[in-house]
């Protein structure tokens, strides 16, 4: 048995204290680094997403004015030296009254037409983009990057210029009609420009990379041994695709569909240039209210209603998906 030593005792106490201080400092640095990594994106989202959204929400409760800015303030300083807060619900009441009469509805028709156009365009983008993504994912690694580059190559030019290019292709004496008539497939030019078909073509072309890239990222991770196992069990290639590949690629399908559908709902340039008078979408209505009628409060209310129309079902869908995920069920 070793004799008791005060020196050894104090040495152990100070050693443990310095070890605890060192671990505490490392933990502080770790927490600070994690706070910086998480805080910078949150600050960016708050500055460029949440703050404009709050400003838009504030304007939606104001009244239109002929002054600058063209809306009244919610806070006012009364004669009794007391601040007063006044919310104007007339803008939202106008939207509700408009949707209550489908025969003369303007905003409700624009909402429904925007959702319909975005849904059809998303479906067409999926039908076009899935084979492209599947081919890229199954190609050799040395060809995968050049093929992805070809997909995103149109993004290197302005979307406005690309939309104007489609006018030259789809018009009556454009490239498409001249080619079809030269081949003898049609006898007279097709009326494609300024129709819903032209809008679908323009949206699918503009947002196709948003569909292809998530699908490629998902399909690349698919294990080829699963298809070989399905073939060994007697599953034909088409059946293996619908039973193995398609279900496993659903996260990419959902992500790509969201990335196409959400911006397509508020699209303005493509329906304005390629669509006809019946191609009334909410983006054109917002432009008219903001810049033609100068009714910023009503336009803000329309934008907030559109945001709720998209965000609320998306959040519900994400909640249901997270509740039904295998990790949560376990």
> CA gyration radius for the chain?
29
Give the SS3 label for residue 83: strand
Cα torsion at 150, 203, 265, 290 (round to 10°)?
110
Handedness of CA 31, 35, 36, 41 (dihedral sign): positive
Give the SS3 label for residue 186: coil
Please give the pLDDT value at position 186: 85
pTM: 0.81
Summarize pLDDT for 200-228 with one digit per residue, the tens: 999 999 999 999 999 999 999 888 888 88
Please give the pLDDT value at position 120: 95
What mean pLDDT do residues 182-193 have?
88
Cα gap 176→180, rounded to integer Å: 6
Q: Among 18-27, 159-168, 244-253, 276-285, whose mean pLDDT is lowest?
A: 18-27
Q: Is 127 exposed, middle or buried (0-12, 13-18, 19+ CB in 10 A)?
A: exposed
> Looking up tokens 């093929």, which residue turns up?
147
Q: What distances in angstroms separate CA 304 from CA 28, 120, 146, 176, 257, one per listed residue?
A: 41, 23, 41, 40, 22
Give the SS3 label for residue 79: coil
Q: Among 62-66, 121-125, 178-182, 187-191, whose mean pLDDT is lowest?
A: 62-66
Q: Among 16-25, 83-92, 139-148, whose mean pLDDT is lowest?
A: 16-25
The percent of the chain in helix, strand and coil, each rounded to the nearest 5, is: 75, 0, 25
pLDDT at position 3 over 90: no
What mean pLDDT do residues 291-304 have?
88
Q: Domains plus CATH for the chain?
A: 106-294 (1.10.3720.10)
More confident residue, 119 or 45: 119
Please give the pLDDT value at position 23: 67
């Amino acid at each position: 048995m070793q004799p008791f030593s005060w020196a050894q005792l104090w040495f152990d106490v100070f050693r443990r204290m310095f070890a605890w201080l060192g671990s505490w400092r490392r933990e502080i640095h770790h927490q600070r680094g994690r706070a910086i990594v998480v805080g910078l994106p949150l600050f960016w989202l708050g500055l460029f997403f949440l703050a404009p959204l709050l400003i838009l929400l504030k304007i939606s409760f104001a009244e239109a004015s002929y002054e600058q800015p063209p809306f009244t303030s919610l806070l006012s300083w009364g004669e009794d030296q007391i601040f007063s807060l006044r919310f104007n619900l007339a803008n939202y009441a106008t939207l509700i009254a408009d949707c209550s009469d489908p025969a003369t509805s303007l905003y409700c028709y624009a909402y429904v037409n925007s959702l319909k156009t975005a849904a059809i365009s998303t479906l067409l983008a999926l039908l076009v983009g899935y084979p492209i993504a599947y081919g890229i994912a199954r190609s050799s690694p040395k060809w995968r990057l050049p093929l992805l580059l070809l997909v995103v190559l149109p993004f290197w030019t302005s979307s406005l210029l690309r939309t104007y290019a489609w006018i030259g292709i789809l018009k009556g004496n454009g490239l498409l009609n001249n080619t079809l008539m030269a081949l003898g497939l049609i006898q007279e030019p097709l009326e494609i420009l300024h129709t819903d078909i032209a809008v679908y073509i323009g949206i699918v072309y503009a947002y196709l990379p948003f569909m292809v890239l998530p699908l490629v990222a998902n399909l690349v991770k698919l294990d080829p041994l699963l298809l070989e196992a399905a073939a060994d069990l007697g599953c034909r290639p088409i059946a293996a695709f619908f039973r193995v590949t398609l279900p496993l690629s659903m996260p990419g399908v959902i992500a790509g569909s969201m990335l196409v559908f959400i911006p397509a709902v508020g699209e303005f340039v493509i329906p304005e240039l390629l669509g006809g008078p019946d191609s009334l979408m909410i983006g054109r209505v917002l432009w008219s209210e903001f810049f033609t009628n100068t009714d910023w409060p009503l336009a803000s209310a329309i934008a907030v209603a559109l945001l709720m129309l998209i965000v609320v079902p998306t959040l519900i869908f994400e909640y249901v998906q997270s509740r039904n995920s295998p990790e949560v069920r376990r």
